[in-house]
Structure 1
Amino acid sequence: MNRPDNKAPADNARDHKYPAPNPPTKKPIAFMSWLILLIGLAALAFAIYSMPPVSEEAPIETITREGVVTQIQQLNRLQTVAFSVDTVITSERQGSWMKLWQDEQKGLFIARGRVDAGIDLSALTPEMVQVIQPDSATDSEALRKAAQNDTQATTVNTAATMPQINITLPPSEIFSVYLDDIEIYDWQTGAFGLMQVDPKILAQAQTMAKKEVLERACRGDVMNIALQNAQTQLQQLFAMTGAVVTVTTQGAGACQLPS
């Protein structure tokens, strides 16, 4: 009769009591995970910023600030007034989710503009200029009375022989609106400033600056000032000839650029 081998169970028990150690975890695995994550984020950012622009861009919102009249200059011509205006312009466009709102742009500008206004003499018609010749009988009586005083004779003689001129001026109008300078005070492009400056923001700011300059000049009564200056200048001009000149107006025109 064979006896069972008693050593085998002892060996098995010893094997269960002292299991074999696991192989050590490799540290390069964690490093590779971080590296793959960083590469993925970089690829995602590159894909976002290299995407072609969407067909419908976000509208540009432009806000103007109250303009300040810095100069009113009278000109010795029928372009009779020039308004210089300083104004602050804010122009911005909201970002899009496709670019994680990094394409949001906002600009702050300081604009200096000028408005020229006056009278267009090409609008004068023959009916607007009347010349009244002196009456010979009345002039002879005036000369006879003035002959008694030699100091007044020359003056009366000159006034009596000069015609009377009545001029009716056409309405005043705006000739031009200029932007002498526009200064970029601040420009923001997204949270990280990764996007390039959009020239449409500046173009929109220039357009709105011209409108604000014109609006501020209109509130400053530029049309009536231009009309009064033209009336005064014409009277002074014809006064040098010795003629009796009366200058009337048709009133101020619309404060807007000519179409």
Structure 2
Amino acid sequence: MKTFLRIAPVLILLIIAIVAAWFFSSNKQKNNAHKVLTSESVLTQIQHLNRLESTAFHIDTIIKTEKKGNWYALWQDSQTGLFVAQGKVLAGLDLNKLKAENVNVVNSKVIISLPPVEILSVNLENLEIYDIKTGSFGLHPIDKNVLKVVQEQAKKQVLASACKADILEHAQHQTQRQLETLFALAQTQVSIYPAALPPCKFSK
């Protein structure tokens, strides 16, 4: 009887271990169920990302303005200004432009032909008035329309600087690498082919 009492706990632990092993084994088999890849399912998963903002350029630029005065105001309504703008340009992929014909699945390998990268946004984060003067004595009120002109010009200069620094080329390399990493995490083989670089411009 004493021997049975000593063996009983061991038997109970052994039974628990067998049941636990069976439970985890059955769950593992469920988790390892085959997943069928189709171009439609891959396309849907990619489009759920919406936009892939792969590259951001932060740029400072200086804008000078000059407005000539009118004779009837004795040229005292002339105005000069100096402004410092800080802007951000985002580039990447609009994944909603990815169509079914851009995605193929061959022998469990995903082949993707990407749409062209593009400028996604151009924004001014800060605009400082460094200096602004009206006329010879500074008595004439400042023409506030100059701020709108400066904002438009600043965006153009920020975009031009980003384009000069090859922002689209950087975005193309980054988007390809990010998508390859995403598929690698999903343990899916993928070949990604980027499109030719488009003109560097921002279309609202």
With normalisation by structure 1, the TM-score equals 0.58
1:9-54 Cα offsets, whole Å, 9 max, x none, are xxxxxxxxxxxxxxxxxxxxxxxxxxxxxxxxxxxxxxxxxxxxxx
Question: Hey, what's the Cα distance between the residues in 1 that align with 2:163 and 2:125?
Answer: 18
Separation in 2, partners of 1:121, 1:174: 13
Residue 231 (1) aligns with residue 176 (2):
yes
2:53 corresponds to 1:79: yes
Structure of larger gyration radius? 1
Q: Do residues 171 (structure 1) and 116 (structure 2) align?
A: yes
1:250 Cα offset (Å): 0.9
SS in 1 for 2:53: coil
2:22 counterpart residue number: none
How many angstroms apart in 1 are the aligned matches of 2:150 and 2:83? Answer: 8
Whether 1:198 aligns to 2:143 is yes
Shift of the alpha carbon at 1:251? 1.9
Q: Are the aligned partners of 1:92 and 1:201 in contact in 2 as well (CA < 8 Å)?
A: no
Q: Which of 142, 147, 152 matches 1:207?
A: 152
Measured on the aligned residues, the alpha-carbon RMSD in Å equals: 1.1
**8 Å CA contact 1:227, 1:251 repeated in 2:** no
| Distance in 2, Cα, partners of 1:241 & 1:90 | 52
Q: How does 1:50-61 map to 2 (within 5 A)?
A: none
Measured after TM superposition, the shift of residue 231 of structure 1 is: 0.2
2:64 matches 1:90: yes
TM superposition shift of 1:254: 2.1
Shift of 1:87: 0.6
Matched, 1:243 2:177: no
Aligned length: 154
Q: Structure 1: where are the runs of 5+ without partners? A: 1-76, 134-162
| 2:90 alignment counterpart | 116
Once the two structures are TM-superposed, the CA of residue 109 in structure 1 deviates from its matched residue by 0.3
Correspondence for 1:186: 131
CA distance in 1, matches of 2:188, 2:113: 16
SS of corresponding position for 2:137: coil
Instruction: Determine whether 1:222 maps to 2:196.
Output: no
Deviation at 1:232, TM superposition (A): 0.2
**How is 1:110-149 mapped onto 2 (pairs within 5 angstroms)?**
110-133=84-107
In structure 1, what is the equivalent of residue 76 of structure 2? 102
How big is each residue's C-alpha offset from its partner over 1:104-136, in whole Å with a ceiling of 9 and x where there is no partner? Answer: 001100000010110011111111111012xxx
Q: Give the drift of 1:96.
A: 1.0
Distance in structure 2 (CA, Å) of the matches to 1:94 and 1:241: 63
Code of the aligned partner of 1:177: V
Over the matched positions of the two proteins, sequence identity in percent amounts to 44
Partner SS, residue 170 of structure 2:
helix
Residue 253 of structure 1 aligns with which residue? Answer: 198
Question: Could you list the runs of 5+ residues in structure 2 that have no partner in the other structure?
Answer: 1-50
User: What is the deviation of 1:241?
Assistant: 2.2
Equivalent residues of 1:85, 1:213 under 8 A apart: yes
Per-residue CA deviations over 1:119-168 (Å, capped at 9, x if unaligned) read: 011111111111012xxxxxxxxxxxxxxxxxxxxxxxxxxxxx111111
Which residue of structure 1 aligns with residue 43 of structure 2? Answer: none
Once residues 151 and 80 of structure 2 are traced to their aligned partners in structure 1, the CA distance between those partners, rounded to angstroms, is 14
Structure 1 residue 252: Cα displacement: 1.9
Secondary structure (helix, strand or coil) at the match of 2:104 reads: strand
User: For residues 105 and 202 of structure 1, what CA distance do their matches in structure 2 show?
Assistant: 12
Q: Could you tell me whether the CA contact under 8 Å between 1:119 and 1:171 is conserved in 2? A: yes
